[in-house]
Each structure stands twice: as structure tokens, then as C-alpha cells.
Amino acid sequence: MSGTEYDLVIIGGNAAGLSLAISSLRSGVQSVRVVEPTSAVVFPELVGEQQLDIGYGESPTSVDVAPPSDGSAETGLVVRTSKHEYRTRACVIALRTDAPDWQPPLEVASSDRILIDTLPETAPDEDVLVIGFTDHAVELTSLLATAGAGVVLAAGGMDPTRLSPAGENWLRRLERERRATVLYRSLPDEVAVVDGYPMAFFNDRRTPDLQFDHVVFASGRRTLSPADVGMTEAALRSGRVWFVGETDEENPDVPTAPGWRIGFDVATAFPELEVAPRSAAEVRRRFTSVIEDLRAENYNATITSFEPTHSDLWVLRVKPDRGDISHLPGQYASLGLGYWEARIDDAEDANLDEKWDKLVRRSYSISHCIFDGHGYLAAGPGEELEFYIVLVPPTPDNVPGLTPRLALKRPGDRIYLGPKVAGRYTLGPVVDPDSTVVFLSTGTGEAPHNAMVVELLRKGHRGPIVSAVSVRQWQDLGYLDKHRTIEKHWGNYHYYPMPTREPDVPKRYIQDLIRNDVFATDFGVELDPTRTHVFLCGNPAMIGLPEEVDGETRFPEVTGVVELLVERGFTVDHRNQRGNIHFEEYW
């Protein structure tokens, strides 16, 4: 059987078809032919730029199996069009057809200026709104821009990972060249007719209501069926044919590839190639315009300072755009970044496709800068809030969402700050200025204690104040120098750092301080339950809160500080029963 031989024949010069041609060639497929029934592909500039082989004006008539010309056992295909016949190892059907029963998902007036999948005849110099968020919407936008129209694309709900690489690239090019305006996060909820012209009403604070000469809806288009291209049953079952698009409910056996993603199928058709399809994360990072819109929509504060204690531990300050940030020492606020932000590690968030445009948030105790610019104890938050944060690494059981993204931020970057500062972990119970106050923490759990220590000293607390913190290494003590300075100026303050993994330091934990009466030995500070308040923040195993089981109080198997203090006559502070052991559930 005669015919021109290709490794891959793609039927359809739309965004998906061009994307597959380009990605296949870059993956090492030697010869690719794109068959396009009309006289032009959707993004003609890509043909020359990517040196694509296009057959214009060729309508597919049949796709059948054919034995390879070299007589091997491998099954080949023969693709016939209105002009030529091709022998190929694989075939992709990228063409789609209109869905005639499709209706816009919003209230739309009846007007010959409101169209579906149809370009206005008088496009040049007219203002046209395209509504949609798929490759098809990008294609219509490109055709209108090429025709000389002023185009706005309302693409609310657009997921960049659902666009083909060619569609994504072209949309960014249209925007960069100022040939189209893209509203990535906006979608009208009604299109009416005002004074004879379509008016799009946006129930959206970001976008005013806009009037246009025409409105064009990009419909959900239907995947072609095997019969549409004359495909035989043998070809369909050969494992060498794929249809681009969602699974067809009427033809569930048709092998489809969602959106443009066919990299794994290229690897199946050409096992000798090492194909590395673009990940969803890579697509999102390239789609800068969507990310900028998401940041503008969600972020309400600026990082003003980002001081690494080391690569995995930082002190950062955040200034909100507006609103009150007054708070009590020890309280917390929430920080957030979008799932669209890049991570410092290679971990992949679970179900990222479903939540990539959402925020990941976490509450953090508010720390304190301790000293102002003149060397005095800082008098409050001013215009900023300070946070003390450690990078949480991924594990097989937990992929943290926030800190691996926060690790890449720097002063001037935007962030989400929760509107409310809250928490009952405060100095409220400390009313006697001669009482003893002890702060016990692990890691960044000392953040709220920094603010509490400063508050006590500024208000003239006379009793002993001790702050002990357990960390792995000396470098994990972000405030060490400042606490040493406080000790020099306030004789009633003692700082007790405890690195557990330094070779020249005896390994001890917070519990050991209680068991061995270290504060009494080193500082002369007795843990007297009648005049001492103990504040705990950090690892739950260190705190060791009891549980009520069948009316009985049960402590954890590993003895924590709470159990040791209760044995000495201390009581846990609850909402309905005041005590002198105060805790923050930090982790």
C-alpha cells in the first residue's frame, strides 16, 4: 500500500493539535504531520516558529490498520484524507465539533449581537467580549484580535493546567503584545441588552459593568466520535489512536486524553523515547498573569522583613494594608499563601488540581522584636506583626503547605494576614507583680513568650522570670543574643537555652528541669504552686496534657511537664476552672 510515511499524524490544527505536534517533536518523534481541514491553523505564527508540517484543506475520510511496510509484527495505521494517504505509527484526533445543545451558564438576553462560537462579521475596530476559560475561548480571542477587534476575555474559573501549552503560550503572548485584555478571575453573571448593545454585568468588586459591540460565548465543544473520521473498529482497538478531550459518555471505549495532556501516550506509542510531560506545577508557575490576579485578590499584607536565623528558621514581620493589629502578648494570628505559589521542595500537595487557586493558612503565635531601634524594650507591635517560623519538611504522612512556600518569600512580597488576632494564652492570670513566672517551650514555641517577657519587664514585674527553650542546636535559637542582653539589664530575668544535639552540651529536656529542680539550683527560683505561673508552648509531648476517660484523668504514656507539675500541687488552667499551668496547643 502506497502513502507518505510519518511517525505521528495529528488531525486538527487547533490549540491542542499544535501543542501535541510541538511536544511530540521536542520529545524526539522524528516526523509529525498535522492535518487541518480548513485553510489555516488557529495560531499560524507557530507553524514557522516551530517548523511544523501542516496539510491544509485536508478533511479526514478514514483511519484503518495497515501492516508495517518492513514486514515486522508491529501494527501500523493508514490515514486517508480528501487529498492524501498517510502511513503512520500513531494517530491523534484533536478536532472537536460544536455542541448544538450547549447553553451559556448565566442569564443572557436574546440579541443578534450575542453569539455562540461565531465571530461577528464586523469584527474590525469593534469591542468584543469573549466569555470562556478553555482553549476554545483562547482560539476565539486570537481570531478576533487578528481581525482587528478590541477583545476582552472574561475567563473566570480558568485553570491553566487545562489549557494546552500552545493555548497558554498564545494567551500570554496576546496579553504581552496588548492585543487582548484578560480578566482571569472575573465572569459576568448576566448579559443584557442596553440601548441595543450587550451589557455584561459583573457581580464582582474587581470588574465594573461593561458594554460591548458584541459578546461571544465559547461553548463546551464535543469530542469527535470514531465515525466522524471514518475510523474502523480495528483501528480503534489497535492501541495506536487517541482522541483529545473528555471521555465520551456515548463512546466510553474511545481512548481520550484530558485537555492537551498526551505525554504518557506518546511514550506508549514510542517506547524508545524518554518522555517527560510538563507537570501541573510547571504550568502554573509559567502562568504569571493568573498568579498576579490571584495575589491581588487574596493578599492583604506585605512582608516588610525576612531575617533568616538559618536556612530553615526565620523571623519575619508583616504589615497589613489596613486594620487594627493591636493584641495581647501571647495571642496568635493566621498567615496564608496560595497553593499557586512555588515550593522550595519537590513535594506535591495532595489534590493540588482541585485547590490550586485556594489559600493554605495556618495560625502562628505572634512574637516580639524585643528591642526597638534605640536599644529600649519595644513598646508594642506598631504597624507590623512579628512571627518566628521554622520550615516544616515533608514526610510520607504529611506534606506541609505553607512553610515550603513561605521559604521563598522576601521583603516586599505579598501575603495573607487573617483579619482577627485571637487566643486566651495571655498574661491575664498574672496579677501579682512579685509572683514567679516560668516560660517553657520547644523550638519556635518561644515566640509568644518573647512578647510576654517584654510585657512583664516593661510593666515593672518584680518577681523572678525564667524562660527555658529546648532546641536541637545553638543555631536554632533565633533570639539568643537578645535574651542575653535582657539578662544583663534585669537581674530578675533568666534565660535557659537547651540544645539537645550539641556534642559539648549535656542532653536534657524540659521535663528534666522540673524533675531535678534546676531553676532552684541555678537561679534560686523555687516552683512554688502558691505563687508561680507556668506557661507552656511547643511540642505536645513536652506539654503532656491529660485526657478525661470515663471520668478519670489520664496522662500520656510519656511523662510531660503538666504531670510533673500536678504532682507538685499545680493545677491546669481551664476556661471553667482557673489554674496556674497555662498552655498553648502550638502544633
- 541: domain CATH number? 3.40.50.80
User: Is the entire prediction scored with pTM above 0.85?
Assistant: no
Do 492 and 383 sit in the same domain of this protein? no
pLDDT average, residue stretch 58-62: 96
Q: Among all chains, which residue has been given the C-alpha cell 533568616? A: 308
State which of 203, 219, 235 marks the end of a domain.
219
b/e 149-161 (16+ beta carbons within 10 angstroms → b):
bbbbbbbbebbbb
Do 462 and 475 sit in the same domain of this protein? yes
288 in a structural domain: no
Do 124 and 80 sit in the same domain of this protein? no
b/e 49-81 (16+ beta carbons within 10 angstroms → b):
eeebebbeebebeebbbbeeeeeeeebbbbbbb
Lowest mean pLDDT among 177-181, 250-254, 322-326, 470-474: 250-254
Q: How many domains does the chain have?
A: 4
What is the per-residue pLDDT for 264? Answer: 37
What is the per-residue pLDDT for 165? Answer: 81
Do 260 and 179 sit in the same domain of this protein? no
State which of 175, 195, 219 marks the end of a domain.
219
State which of 384, 417, 450 marks the end of a domain.
417
DSSP string, 493-539: EEEEEEESS-TTS----HHHHHHTTHHHHHH-----TTTEEEEEEE-
CATH number at residue 22: 3.50.50.60
Do 406 and 304 sit in the same domain of this protein? yes
Reference 567, options 555, 583, 576, 584; nearest CA is 555
Reference 88, options 254, 240, 281, 296; nearest CA is 240
Q: Is the pLDDT of residue 73 over 70?
A: no
Lowest mean pLDDT among 229-238, 328-337, 373-382: 373-382
C-beta atoms surrounding 343 within 10 Å = 20
The overall average pLDDT reported for the chain is: 88
With a CB cutoff of 8 Å and minimum separation 6, the contacts of 276 are 27, 263
The pLDDT-based confidence of 559 (bands split at 50, 70, 90) is very high
Do 201 and 239 sit in the same domain of this protein? no
Do 489 and 581 sit in the same domain of this protein? yes
Do 476 and 578 sit in the same domain of this protein? yes
Judge contact between 327 and 380, C-beta under 8 A. Answer: no
Full domain range(s) for residue 522:
436-585
Judge contact between 535 and 449, C-beta under 8 A. Answer: yes
Length of the chain: 587
Q: Among all chains, which residue has been given the C-alpha cell 489555516? A: 40
Rg of the Cα atoms in the chain: 33
308 in a structural domain: yes
Do 87 and 197 sit in the same domain of this protein? no
431 in a structural domain: no
Name the residue with higher pLDDT: 454 or 549: 454
What is the per-residue pLDDT for 78? Answer: 95
499 in a structural domain: yes
The pLDDT-based confidence of 577 (bands split at 50, 70, 90) is confident
Reference 134, options 257, 232, 260; nearest CA is 260
Judge contact between 318 and 383, C-beta under 8 A. Answer: no
What is the per-residue pLDDT for 1? Answer: 40
Q: How far is CA 177 from CA 134, 148, 322, 469, in A?
A: 20, 13, 35, 56
Enter the DSSP assignment of 382: T
Name the residue with higher pLDDT: 73 or 305: 305
294 in a structural domain: no
261 in a structural domain: yes
247 in a structural domain: yes
**pLDDT digits over 82-114, tens only?**
999 999 999 999 988 877 888 898 899 999 999
Reference 402, options 411, 410, 413, 391; nearest CA is 391
Do 45 and 148 sit in the same domain of this protein? no
Query: Could you give the 3-state DSSP secondary structure of residue 529?
Result: coil
**pLDDT digits over 262-276, tens only?**
433 566 677 777 655
Q: Which of 121-130, 524-533, 540-549 ranks highest by mean pLDDT?
A: 524-533
Query: Could you give the 3-state DSSP secondary structure of residue 240?
Result: coil
Judge contact between 223 and 248, C-beta under 8 A. Answer: yes
291 in a structural domain: no
The pLDDT-based confidence of 258 (bands split at 50, 70, 90) is very low
* Cα–Cα distance, 495 to 76 (Å, whole number): 77
Query: Could you give the 3-state DSSP secondary structure of residue 581?
Result: strand
C-beta atoms surrounding 584 within 10 Å = 23
Do 458 and 578 sit in the same domain of this protein? yes
Do 70 and 12 sit in the same domain of this protein? yes
